Structures are given as C-alpha cells and as structure tokens.
Structure 1
Amino acid sequence: MTDIALVRVTFDTAAEADRIARHAIGERLAACVNIDRPCTSIFRWRDVVETAEEVTATFKTTITLASALAERIAALHRYDQPVIESWPVAVDTAVAQWIDDATHA
C-alpha cells in the first residue's frame, strides 16, 4: 500500500465546489474530486451558533502536493476562513500511480 492524501473542504454551493475542483484538476494539484450531496453543518462563528447547508468535496492528491492544493483552495474559496482538512491514506499501488500520473505533467 502507498500513501496519498485526501483533502476535504466544505463549500456553500455545489457550483463553487465544481469550480474549484476543476481548477485543482486543471492545474494538476488533484487527480480526482468527489463532490457529495448537501449536508447540514452546525458551527460556532463569531460567537454565534450557526446552521448552514453545505457541500463537501474530497480531493485526491499526493502527499507532496497536499499543502499546495490547500493553499490554492483557500485562495479560490469564498469563505473568510475555509476549513481545509488533509490526511494521508493508504491505497494500492495502481491507484497511487494513477494519482501520481494525473498530478504530474
């Protein structure tokens, strides 16, 4: 098994998730992005408990590109403070090779 990184981000709309996903793939920062159905998020923001419908997107990338991907997502994101989570995952060698190939010119 080989490590890759998953980067998960919430967006206010599926259209924004799609727009940023296409940037990430076009710029070879991610091999694939899974955009999930809307979810309900409950969070504290500026000392008020808020509830919002959001869309979660999971980006598949290499460990070495995860930080650059997170920075690019943050630059394109509408939120003042987007929550961008990243962690390594183990995948089989063929999947890791596909992700590596898709993120390198």
Structure 2
Amino acid sequence: MESEQDALNLATAMHGLPGQEGPTMRSFSVSYNPDMNDTGATALMAALPTSVTEIGMVGCGLGDASGRAVLNLADRSRALRMICVEGNDFSARMRAEISDMGGKRSGLLVVV
C-alpha cells in the first residue's frame, strides 16, 4: 500500500465482501505504510469485520483520529485479541487511552 488513497480503495473493497456467509477475516495488517494517515486508517478500521482478532498498523503516520477509530473497533469487535499500533503520531492522551483499553479488557494485548 502506497498511500491514503490505496487505504481508501481497500476499505471500499472490504465493504463489498460478503457478510457471514463467506470466510471470516482474523488477522489484518497494513504496518509500515507511513503515507496511509488518518483518513485511510479510519476508513479501514470502519470496514473491518467484527471477526477480526488481530490488527497491525505499526508506523503508519497515524494521529488521534485513527486512534479513536481503533478504540471504536475494539468496542464493536469482542473477538479482538491483539492491537499493534506503535510507532505512530498519537498524542500522549490518545496513547494512554489505547493502552488503558488493553488493561480494561481481559485477553486483549495492546502495543502502542
């Protein structure tokens, strides 16, 4: 993935996938795509199915809007077991919110 637009295209394609009648997505990583930014990451988080158990978005140039999208995904996806979002541009407050989520939910590993 080269850009924010690539992330938006991928999110659009994921929205077009069949619901529960098809295979379920478990692991999703777009790590080390520094040009994805908040717009692309937010679209991807919204498009991920609730079956996802692992997400990786390390070093993607993410800010607080993406952090909020990660928190929203964790709220709607009870299957989520691992979130790796280190090496991004979150504020100290957002970094703390994401980190705290891992401590509040049993079985969820968060690396931020």
Q: Given the two structures, how large is their TM-score scaled by the length of structure 1?
A: 0.27
| Structure with the larger strand share | 1
Structure with bigger RCO (C-alpha 8 Å, 6+ apart): 1
Q: Given the two structures, how large is their TM-score scaled by the length of structure 2?
A: 0.26
